[in-house]
Chains A and B, each alone.
Chain A
């Protein structure tokens, strides 16, 4: 299993998680507009975190620093993939409050609370190639507190491609959910959709990303979706 990078742990001031693309332009016309079309096959995720705040003299600070060093060591300068958590629960159609055991019990509480997540199951795959590869429209049974409006993100776990994040574009009549980017690997009827833990398999943008860290540090790190076929 690849290591998991949880940005919540490192208090980043700025974070940008979005779908990036590469476009081909047709040059600027006399009217001043430029025609574009996208040439990347549907976009890919890019996540940039900067100005983290970690380090300090308390035990919790110490553990944050150790966690950072550990994850950096596990990524082996970008040659290994990492599952990046998106942590944007407010914009998810999550269910109500649920108690769970505090993984690091402190004096105040041995249990914490979080949203119960919205659970979904794929009921049909509308387009795409064999095995649901590159599908961009599905229908799904979703049990959630809030109605889907478009803009939410979800994760599908594929057996070899790992967790991949998708962003809903529109909810159409008949429950058609269209999203970008196209499905990696494939999707089948009955696969479960996760609106609670949004994660995407990514890798470091470059081997020379800033990974320096002293007692206090404001680390920055950038990821891009891992693109290679896992079975090659």
Chain B
């Protein structure tokens, strides 16, 4: 038994990428109305781990694909608006020993949230990747709770409040004694 994985992004048109080489045809099933073609070729750089749980916690994952492949550049540029909110399936393909497709399993469904193109300069060239951030239906974008209180932050909020005056003197692992000396 062998397996490969793929990603189906229900943008317009639908983008289907899988981790193998060449085309892969999948028959019509609960997700596909008609037989569909997954495009291979290593465009997927990184498909994340995800929880496969009932009553699992809300997750946010990032799927990274090559930023110079024609198919994925189209995803980012021309189809960008339709990607937001699109359904994203993480797909597992099972093959028999002769590499014939025996099963298509939709392991998880996510909702595409935002698409970012990152382009970084490296020695000898640039690396451009497209990152699709996907979340489960109950992942939201609320702000993370404040984790650290600093005097600077507090001064910005209320300039005459001195409550965090000595925070900058506290370093990790240091204990402050309180009360009379």
Interface residues of A (CB under 8 A from B): 22, 24, 37-44, 127-130, 133-134, 136-137, 161, 178, 180-182, 184-185, 207-208, 225, 227-229, 232
Contact = CB atoms under 8 A, between A and B. Distances in A.
B22 A134 contact: yes
Interface in B1-57: 1-5, 18-25, 39-43
B25 A42 contact: no
The 4 closest A-B pairs by CB, nearest first: A41-B20, A227-B41, A228-B41, A42-B99
Contacts of B2: 37-39, 42
5 contacts: A22-B19, A37-B1, A39-B2, A42-B21, A228-B43
Contact of A134 (B24, B43, B69): B24
Most buried by A among B23, B40, B71, B100: B23
A24 B95 CA distance: 14
Interface of B: 1-5, 18-25, 39-43, 69-71, 93, 95, 98-101, 124-125
Mostly, the A contact residues are: loop
A182 B3 contact: no
Given A127-B100, A129-B101, A182 B25 contact: no
A60 B91 CA distance: 54
Contacts of A207: 124-125
A203 to B, nearest CB: 11
Contacts of B23: 133-134, 185, 229
Contact of A41 (B1, B19, B70, B124): B19
Given A24-B3, A37-B2, A39-B19, 8 more contacts: A40-B19, A41-B24, A128-B100, A129-B101, A133-B22, A182-B99, A227-B42, A232-B71
A228 B3 CA distance: 20
A92 B93 CA distance: 34
Contacts of A229: 22-23, 39-41
Most buried by A among B20, B21, B43, B101: B21
B26 to A, nearest CB: 9
A41 B25 contact: no
A39 B24 contact: no
Contact of B5 (A39, A208, A232): A39
B20 to A, nearest CB: 2
B36 to A, nearest CB: 12
Nearest to B38: A41
A232 B99 contact: no
Nearest to A126: B98
Contacts of B22: 41, 133-134, 161, 182, 184-185, 227, 229
Nearest to A137: B98
